[in-house]
Amino acid sequence: MNAPVSFFVTGTDTEIGKTLVSAALLHGFAQQGLRAAAMKPIAAGAFERDGIWHNEDADQLDAAANVQLPPDVRTPYLLKEPIAPHIAAARENVSLDISRIVDAHKLAITQADVVVVEGVGGFRVPLTEVHDTADLAFALDLPVVLVVGMRLGCISHALLTAEAIAARGLRLAGWVANRVDPDMLYPGENIEAIQVRLDSQYNAPLLGTIPHLAPPDAGQAATHIDSALLLQTLRAATQVNDSRFIAKD
């Protein structure tokens, strides 16, 4: 029986499809017969329904997962205003404690075969005066999946984010190209430019290219992502880490 795996989903920016990709991967894992759960540790932007506060992204992840985590595990920090999380937290007198999220993830990983952890915004969004989402990914010690919003400027954004991920000592497990701009010129050439560099420099495969979907549909997006390849990569990385741990002992 395989050990559970988990990974952190980040993006080149906000509004580039992290939730779409996360939900699509959850669909893919479920289709492989896996128990798939999701975390949105920090969500900024909430609405009240029947006396319960919700976040649209977190609800989409719940809809795609086949294992439902308790709300305080799935989203330890649900902030009301749809603004930068450190600003929203300050306005609500909330301290974003990374250790609380790490503890929630430790519980989540006992409930499923695979846990998808979706970040907030890009890779270096401030959480406190001294910590950002890169620190969160590092504290969780998870491989990272990068969502690249395909639009003008995406090559530099993708390479800078990949460099930042590597600088934290984290593994870039793969990336997904999401066609957020249907009018982008030469998308294929842009995807190839990123693919060549991320593969040669970080051994990070292109997991799939999602066409422009209006409206976004996670089930349809799942048909364009190779979730089996990602799972294989994650399990291989886990085995390597386990071997190193045994060797040290």
Q: Catalytic annotation on 80?
A: no
**pLDDT band of 243, cuts 50, 70, 90:** very low
List CB contacts of 241: < 8 A, sequence separation 6 or more. Answer: none
Q: At what angle do helices 18-31 and 56-64 cross, to 10 degrees?
A: 10
Mean pLDDT to the nearest integer, 47-69: 94
The predicted-structure confidence for 8-41, as pLDDT tens digits, reads as follows: 999 999 999 999 999 999 999 999 999 999 999 9
What is the residue-averaged pLDDT of the chain?
94
* 45 annotated ligand-binding residue: no
* 122 annotated ligand-binding residue: no
* 119 annotated ligand-binding residue: yes
CB 145 within 8 A of CB 12: no
Whole-number Å distance between alpha carbons of 78 and 38: 15
The predicted-structure confidence for 169-194, as pLDDT tens digits, reads as follows: 999 999 999 999 999 999 999 999 99
* 155 annotated ligand-binding residue: no
Question: Looking at residue 204, what is its pLDDT?
Answer: 98
CB 147 within 8 A of CB 21: yes
* 118 annotated ligand-binding residue: yes
**pLDDT band of 47, cuts 50, 70, 90:** very high
Lowest-confidence range among 81-95, 126-140, 204-218, 227-241? 227-241
The total domain count for the chain is 1
Which has more confidence, 100 or 239?
100
Whole-number Å distance between alpha carbons of 22 and 26: 6
Does position 45 have pLDDT exceeding 90, yes or no? Answer: yes
Tell me which residue range forms the domain holding 115: 5-248
Which CATH number do you get for residue 12?
3.40.50.300
Catalytic one among 40, 80, 106, 248? 40
Question: Looking at residue 130, what is its pLDDT?
Answer: 95
Its pTM surpasses 0.75: yes
Question: Looking at residue 2, what is its pLDDT?
Answer: 82
Whole-number Å distance between alpha carbons of 83 and 19: 17
Question: Looking at residue 240, what is its pLDDT?
Answer: 53
Q: At what angle do helices 18-31 and 227-248 cross, to 10 degrees?
A: 80
